[in-house]
Amino acid sequence: MRLKDKVAIVTGSGQGIGRGIAERFAQEGARLVIADKNETTLHKAEAELKALGGEVLAVQVDVSQSDPIAALFQSVLSTFGTVDVLVNNAAWAVPTAHFLDMTEDFWDTVLRTNLKSVFLCSQHAARIMADQKKPGSIVNISSFGALRAHREMSAYDAAKGGIESMTRAMAVDLAPWRIRANAVGPGLTATPAVTDYLPTPEQQKRLLDTVPLERLGQPSDVAAAVLFFASDDASYVTGQILYVDGGVVAQLRPAVMERHHKRPQ
Ligand SMILES: NC(=O)c1ccc[n+]([C@@H]2O[C@H](COP(=O)([O-])OP(=O)(O)OC[C@H]3O[C@@H](n4cnc5c(N)ncnc54)[C@H](O)[C@@H]3O)[C@@H](O)[C@H]2O)c1
């Protein structure tokens, strides 16, 4: 029960990684706020999480717009009176456009949804924590795309790089208030964003050949790292980025390209 009675907001928690984080937080005793723009998946997640026995507030919100974000924090305050943990997970997860073809409108939409939302939600949460003189934890979901380029995803990768820089900047600015900011960078994780994008087993296998630990990550793998940053176990940790990626960013070339590739017998 590492988040017992903590009020924790997880954005983009109707499905995928956010849903996995919300489930782990519920198991750890959090008073949970799930927030997503998709009402159908949001209310399905709400019912399943309530069945685990904890308190759950579900708020439909589009984090690419500032007014709905302000309304989200208003309803959190009127329901729970405070915020202890914010996880900025919501994003447009696979926005593809080749650099030569990308329109200004596409760039703006990706940056507004994936980066500006993190600034706005974090500022609301941090102001509440600072006003109430309570320590807090903000965990941003980055991506291995912040360190290594995805093909045809330059706006996405730029937003994730921005999240990592902003995580360090927030950590420094907010430290006097004992508000910590860290980020988790998932690798290839089994969520609808990935399985819808790579529908065939053959496409998934080709990508898995690039992962040293030879499997897709699960939302629960990412959730375990987010829980560490959110909890008091990380009370002296701020401004850090932790990759949960099966070893992808550590390697130079995928194993299939190496001449010597010793394997367990
Ligand atoms: N799955 C991966 O392999 C992977 C890898 C690296 C990083 N990530 C990151 O992990 C996070 C979650 O990704 P996922 O794979 O679970 O994606 P997903 O598309 O399966 O889920 C994203 C959720 O966010 C919600 N959402 C999207 N735009 C929103 C908005 N404007 N307002 C509110 N909610 C919104 C969606 O409705 C959905 O429920 C994202 O930040 C993504 O960039 C994922």
| pLDDT computed for residue 35 by the predictor | 98
Query: Domain extents for the chain?
Result: 7-243
Residue 99 amino acid letter: F
* pLDDT given for residue 204 in this prediction: 84
pLDDT at 203 over 90: no
Residue nearest atom 43 of ligand 1, based on CA coordinates: 93
**For the chain, percent of residues with pLDDT exceeding 90:** 88
Cα–Cα distance measured from residue 19 to residue 191, given in angstroms and rounded to the nearest whole number? 10
The number of the ligand 1 atom at minimal distance from the alpha carbon of 142 is 7
Greater confidence (249 vs 260) lies with 249
Q: Is 120 in the pocket of ligand 1 (CB under 6 A)?
A: no
- For the four alpha carbons of 91, 92, 98 and 100, in that order, the dihedral sign comes to negative
Q: Is 37 in the pocket of ligand 1 (CB under 6 A)?
A: yes
156 is catalytic: yes
- pLDDT value for 258: 75
CATH architecture assigned to 7-243: 3-Layer(aba) Sandwich (3.40)
Q: Return the pLDDT at 153.
A: 97
Using CA atoms, how far apart are residues 242 and 226, in angstroms rounded to an integer?
A: 9
Q: How far is the CA of 16 from the centre of ligand 1 (A)?
A: 7
In this predicted structure, the answer to whether residue 197 has a pLDDT above a threshold of 90 is no
DSSP 113: I
Give the tens place of pLDDT for each residue, 33-90.
999 999 999 999 999 999 999 899 999 999 999 999 999 999 999 999 999 999 999 9
- DSSP, collapsed to helix, strand or coil, labels residue 202 as helix
Question: Coil, strand, or helix at residue 87?
Answer: strand
This prediction has a pTM of 0.98
Contact 193 CB / ligand 1 (< 6 Å): yes
Task: From the CA of 65, give the closest atom in ligand 1.
Answer: 31
Strand partners, 10: 34, 87
**Atom 44 of ligand 1, residue of closest alpha carbon:** 186
Q: Is the CB of 246 under 6 A from ligand 1?
A: no
Q: How far is CA 197 from CA 92, 96, 194, 248, in A?
A: 13, 11, 5, 19
pLDDT more than 70, % of the chain: 100
Position 207 scores a pLDDT of 87
Cβ atoms within 10 Å, residue 176: 8
pLDDT attached to residue 261: 77
Chain segment 89-138, per-residue pLDDT in tens: 999 999 999 999 999 999 999 999 999 999 999 999 999 999 999 999 99
pLDDT tops 90 at residue 149 = yes
Kindly state the DSSP code that residue 149 receives in the 8-state scheme.
Answer: P
